[in-house]
């Protein structure tokens, strides 16, 4: 029973379908013409939170994910069908990064993000026909889908996290507070992966039982701090201390130090100290308050103190939830890939891009209004700015499609500035 909370995945979205270059030729119909339809869009790869998903093992087993390609366009102006999106179900708290950084942090049932975008379909020759070329004999190819490597990480989202030394009684508490049935045993490191349970009757809150920490966990001792990342998103912490050991205060200090060493923000997180195994000590209440004035003493065995603990945790979760806002999914929106590029060709500059070339080819240069409109459009698309950034100066020759212009930036986007 593995628990996968880190995995590298190769995602490839669908390719856009090619446009068709069909020319209608029918007997007795001399007026045939280009009737090639557009290609369909390639499918996206979408990650969606499914509260039923426990970890990332599905992705670990299937690290290559592909979405369907778009279909090619056909004659008689038939468009190709879009490729189907591939929806991958991931657990709550899944973070996705690519080589450019954070892509999405998915928190909450149903939140979703596109992790690889399908390519656009190519236009058919029917769509490409224009006054300058009434019968295009070629069509656009479909765009490739995004193809990349992503790092996927799970950070469990829970209201309350139980942390403490091995054998302190964390899993016992989880089993008493929730319906979860974690493994409980009289030796350390019984729990090897985080367990989750839902507590509370009216107000429900999620409790995470984190594998035991030992001194030096942040340096890799014991199970190390591998699981502490799951604590980073708990709204509140329960520091679980076995009251029956020689020096409970030393254990508490160790836990606090390991949390702090992992992430100073964790040391500041709202926390309750809970002394367990109250049944094994003489004066549990006194032992607990020696640890911390607000500490609770409980026994997972006799059940003493558990109601008070559940109430305290419920209030804590409620309070924390009311205060914080950062539990929403984060999906990083990036600008789409640029719609054109600027290349330097000796003394000249060439702008290459499907849209900009089309605008230029469609413009009637004898009509000043159209020329002005074209220039505004190019400026809005960022062509001037990009030319200036590439080093173009006022008066330089700029080629777009089969037309040459003189660089006359409007908006102060001037290479000399």
Nearer to ligand GTP, 125 or 299 (CB): 299
Among 140, 277, 310, 388, binds ligand GTP (CB under 6 A): 277
Per-residue DSSP letters for 250-302?
A: HHHHHHHHHHHHH-HHHHTS-EEEEEE-GGGSS-HHHHHHHH-TT-EE--TTT
Q: Is 195 exposed, middle or buried (0-12, 13-18, 19+ CB in 10 A)?
A: buried
Nearer to ligand GTP, 171 or 254 (CB): 171
Among 34, 37, 212, 409, binds ligand GTP (CB under 6 A): 212
Shortest Cβ 244–Mg ion spacing (Å): 16
Which element (helix H / strand E) includes 306?
A: helix 306-323
Nearer to Mg ion, 190 or 330 (CB): 190
Shortest Cβ 151–Mg ion spacing (Å): 28
| Locus of tokens 């020689």 | 246
Q: How many CB atoms sit inside 10 A of residue 214's CB?
A: 16
Q: Which three-class secondary structure state does DSSP give residue 163? A: strand
Name the segment binding ligand GTP (CB under 6 A); options: 80-88, 264-272, 277-285, 353-361: 277-285
Residue 166 sits in the site that holds Mg ion (CB under 5 A): no
Query: Which pairs from 177-186 meet CB under 8 Å and 24+ separation?
Result: 177/207, 177/306, 177/309, 177/310, 177/313, 178/207, 180/207, 180/209, 182/209
Scored b (16 or more CB within 10 A) or e, 243-273 reads bbbeebeebbebbbbbbebbbeebeebebbb
* Partner from Mg ion, ligand GTP, none binding residue 4, C-beta < 5-8 Å depending on class: none
Smallest CA-to-CA distance from 206 within 324, 313, 327 is with 313
134 DSSP 8-state letter: S
Smallest CA-to-CA distance from 22 within 142, 136, 141 is with 136
* Partner from ligand GTP, Mg ion, none binding residue 172, C-beta < 5-8 Å depending on class: ligand GTP
Among 20, 22, 111, 171, binds Mg ion (CB under 5 A): 171
* Partner from ligand GTP, Mg ion, none binding residue 280, C-beta < 5-8 Å depending on class: ligand GTP
Shortest Cβ 278–Mg ion spacing (Å): 18
Shortest Cβ 190–ligand GTP spacing (Å): 4
Nearer to ligand GTP, 214 or 261 (CB): 214
Binding mask 282-321 for ligand GTP (x = CB under 6 A): -----------------xxx--------------------
* Partner from ligand GTP, Mg ion, none binding residue 136, C-beta < 5-8 Å depending on class: none
Residues 174-203 that bind Mg ion (CB under 5 A): 190-191
Smallest CA-to-CA distance from 80 within 137, 140, 130, 26 is with 140
Q: Which three-class secondary structure state does DSSP give residue 341? A: strand
Name the segment binding ligand GTP (CB under 6 A); options: 14-22, 41-49, 133-141, 178-186: 178-186
Name the segment binding Mg ion (CB under 5 A); options: 130-138, 171-179, 350-358, 379-387: 171-179
Residue 276 sits in the site that holds Mg ion (CB under 5 A): no
Residues 150-169 that bind ligand GTP (CB under 6 A): 164, 166-169
Q: Give the span between the Cα atoms of 388 and 396, in whole angstroms.
A: 10
Where on the chain is the footprint of Mg ion (CB under 5 A)? 171, 190-191
Where on the chain is the footprint of ligand GTP (CB under 6 A)? 164, 166-172, 184-186, 188-191, 211-212, 276-277, 279-280, 299-301
């Amino acid at each position: 029973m593995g628990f996968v909370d880190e995995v590298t995945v190769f995602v490839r979205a669908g390719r856009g379908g090619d446009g068709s270059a069909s020319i209608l030729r029918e007997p007795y119909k001399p007026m045939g013409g280009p009737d090639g339809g557009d290609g369909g869009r390639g499918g996206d790869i979408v990650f969606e939170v499914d509260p039923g998903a426990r970890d990332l093992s599905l992705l670990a087993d299937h690290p290559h994910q592909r979405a369907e390609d778009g279909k090619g366009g056909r004659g008689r102006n038939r468009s190709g069908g879009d490729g189907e999106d591939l929806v991958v179900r991931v657990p709550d708290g899944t973070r996705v990064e690519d080589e450019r950084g954070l892509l999405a942090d998915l928190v909450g049932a149903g939140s979703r993000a596109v992790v690889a975008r399908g390519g656009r379909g190519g236009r058919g020759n029917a769509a490409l026909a224009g006054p300058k070329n009434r019968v295009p004999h070629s069509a656009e190819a479909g765009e490739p889908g995004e193809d990349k490597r992503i790092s996927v990480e799970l950070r469990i989202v829970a209201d309350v996290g139980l942390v403490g030394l091995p054998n302190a009684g964390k899993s016992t508490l989880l089993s008493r507070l929730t319906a979860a049935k974690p493994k409980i045993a009289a030796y350390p490191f019984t729990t090897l992966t985080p367990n989750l349970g839902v507590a509370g009757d009216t107000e429900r809150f999620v409790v995470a039982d984190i594998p035991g920490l030992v001194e030096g966990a942040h340096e890799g001792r014991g199970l190390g701090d591998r699981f502490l990342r799951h604590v980073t998103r708990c709204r509140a912490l329960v520091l679980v201390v076995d009251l029956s050991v020689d020096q409970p205060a030393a254990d508490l200090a160790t836990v606090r130090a390991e949390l702090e060493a992992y992430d100073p923000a964790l040391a500041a997180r709202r926390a309750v100290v809970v002394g367990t195994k109250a049944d094994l000590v003489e004066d549990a209440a006194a032992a607990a308050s020696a640890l911390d004035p607000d500490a609770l003493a409980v026994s997972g065995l006799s059940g003493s103190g558990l109601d008070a603990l559940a109430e305290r945790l419920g209030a804590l979760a409620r309070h924390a939830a009311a205060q914080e806002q950062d539990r929403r999914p984060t999906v990083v929106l990036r600008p789409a890939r640029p719609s054109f590029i600027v290349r330097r060709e000796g003394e000249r500059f060439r702008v290459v891009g499907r849209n900009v070339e089309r605008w230029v080819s469609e413009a009637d240069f004898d009509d000043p209004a159209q020329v002005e409109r074209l220039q505004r459009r190019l400026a809005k698309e960022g062509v001037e700015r990009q030319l200036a950034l590439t080093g173009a100066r006022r008066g330089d020759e700029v080629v777009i499609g089969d037309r040459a212009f003189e660089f006359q930036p409007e908006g102060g986007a001037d290479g000399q500035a």
